[in-house]
Amino acid sequence: MKFFLDTANVDEIREACSMGMVDGVTTNPSLIAKEGRDFETVIREICEIVEGPDIIPVSAEVIRLDLEGMLSEARHLAEIHRNVVVKIPMTVDGIKATRILSREGIDTNVTLVFSPLQALMAAKAGATYVSPFIGRLDDISQEGMTLVEQIVQIFHNYAFHTQVIVASVRNPLHVLESALMGADIATIPFSVLGKFASHPLTDKGIQSFLNDWNKFQKC
Ligand code: G3P
């Protein structure tokens, strides 16, 4: 299972990269705005941080919502760096744009997916990735993970190559359940990654080993 980092903060990306936990990065307009920096500069910097022998996908989202606007922004974003994946909102024009961009060889991530049929449309249009937002479904008392389960099943039934990015991840359980369901990727906020890196029994165990070692040294 791949871990993407869901952030536009370059310090977080550097830190997670040093742990080898960054198979990709996803951003959205809200995450970029939070950093208060120029959009293209941030995307270029993220691509340079993750650059290596393998292509590490970095999702950058279009702002325009009309087809021509989306296409022109998408082509421009794709030229920033070879790692850029263009994030397209799940709308009718978004689907049309995805189909055209896929034929041009530009990777796409169809975002704001809240139903399995939206995901199926995106896959049929040739999306490289789809992003079901599970936390936001949980927020309105719908089981976000059920959506992931259904999308994984549908893509498996018809052997789609579109990869499932579980997005709007709020806690470690979302990542665990995604892994058990066979989702390709979870895009994880840095704070959530930190939560499952540690365990109180690991800390307790380390402390107890050190205490025993220090007692033995004094003998
Ligand atoms: O990956 C999508 C994510 O950025 C949205 O997360 O927490 O704003 O629902 P959230």
State the pLDDT at residue 218: 82
Q: What is the whole-number distance in angstroms between the Cα of residue 30 and the centre of ligand 1?
A: 9
State the pLDDT at residue 175: 97
State which ligand 1 atom lies nearest to the alpha carbon of 135: 9
State the pLDDT at residue 52: 87
Closest to 162 (Cα-Cα) out of 204, 131, 139: 131
Q: Is the CB of 109 under 6 A from ligand 1?
A: no
Cα(146)–Cα(203) distance, rounded to whole angstroms?
A: 34
State the pLDDT at residue 169: 98
In the Cβ-directed half-sphere of 106, how many Cα atoms lie within 13 Å? 27
Query: pTM of the predicted model, to two decimals?
Result: 0.95
Q: Is the CB of 29 under 6 A from ligand 1?
A: no
Q: Is the CB of 28 under 6 A from ligand 1?
A: yes
State the pLDDT at residue 13: 98
Listed as ranges, residues in the chain with pLDDT below 50 are none
Q: What is the whole-number distance in angstroms between the Cα of residue 144 and the centre of ligand 1?
A: 13
> Which residue puts its alpha carbon closest to atom 8 of ligand 1?
168
Closest to 57 (Cα-Cα) out of 131, 140, 113: 131
Q: Quick check: is 87 catalytic?
A: yes
State the pLDDT at residue 197: 86
State the pLDDT at residue 115: 98
Residue type, position 94, single letter = G
Q: What is the whole-number distance in angstroms between the Cα of residue 219 and the centre of ligand 1?
A: 55
Cα(57)–Cα(75) distance, rounded to whole angstroms?
A: 16
Where do runs of H (alpha helix) occur along the chain? Answer: 10-18, 29-35, 39-50, 67-80, 92-103, 116-124, 134-139, 144-157, 172-181, 190-197, 200-218
Q: What is the whole-number distance in angstroms between the Cα of residue 201 and the centre of ligand 1?
A: 30
State the pLDDT at residue 219: 76
